[in-house]
């Protein structure tokens, strides 16, 4: 495999208050040399990260207190080298708004047998922990691929 030329990553979920901010923070922790952002397909624009997500992030040494949800745009997709999404339906949505970026849109759980990462919003603490465990594994795999 040749050298990947990835300089920017966009992490996408639905509301941009749980999964994508956490995934972006994890990626920043492991791949600090990349430009990493997050956005939501149906973002709760301007809202901070979910309290449970922030609390869990803090336990993992990550900070989400500065995060404010942003709406995903077609231009943002075009301007990014790699787009990581949580669910297959997110790939479809991105393909709808910016068909030309389909080739650089992949599941966050791609290296975990193409696992979709479920939305923990308003679910139990143990479900949040399960989801973030999956995300941590997924980001670890992506970090290995991106550092080649």
Q: Is 33 a catalytic residue?
A: no
Annotated active-site residue in 68, 81, 119, 136: 119
- End-to-end alpha carbon distance in the chain: 9
Annotated active-site residue in 19, 28, 50, 77: 19
Annotated active-site residue in 13, 18, 50, 77: 13
Rounded distance between C-alpha atoms, residue 91 and residue 84, angstroms: 9
Confirm if 46 and 26 have CB atoms less than 8 A apart.
Answer: no
Q: Is 13 a catalytic residue?
A: yes
Q: Is 119 a catalytic residue?
A: yes
Angle of CA points 35, 45, 24, to nearest 5°: 30
As annotated, the active-site residues are 13, 19, 119
């Amino acid at each position: 495999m040749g050298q990947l030329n990835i300089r920017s990553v966009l992490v996408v979920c639905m509301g941009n208050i749980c999964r994508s901010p956490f995934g972006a923070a994890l990626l920043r922790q492991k791949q600090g040399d990349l430009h990493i952002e997050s956005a939501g397909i149906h973002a709760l624009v301007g809202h901070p990260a979910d309290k449970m997500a922030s609390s869990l992030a803090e336990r993992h040494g990550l900070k989400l207190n500065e995060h404010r949800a942003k709406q995903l745009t077609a231009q943002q997709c075009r301007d990014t080298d790699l787009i990581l999404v949580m669910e297959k339906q997110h790939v479809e949505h991105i393909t709808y708004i910016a068909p030309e970026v389909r080739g650089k849109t992949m599941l966050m759980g791609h290296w975990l047998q193409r696992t979709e990462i479920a939305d923990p919003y308003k679910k139990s603490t143990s479900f949040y922990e399960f989801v973030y465990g999956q995300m941590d594994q997924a980001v670890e795999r992506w970090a290995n691929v991106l550092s080649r």
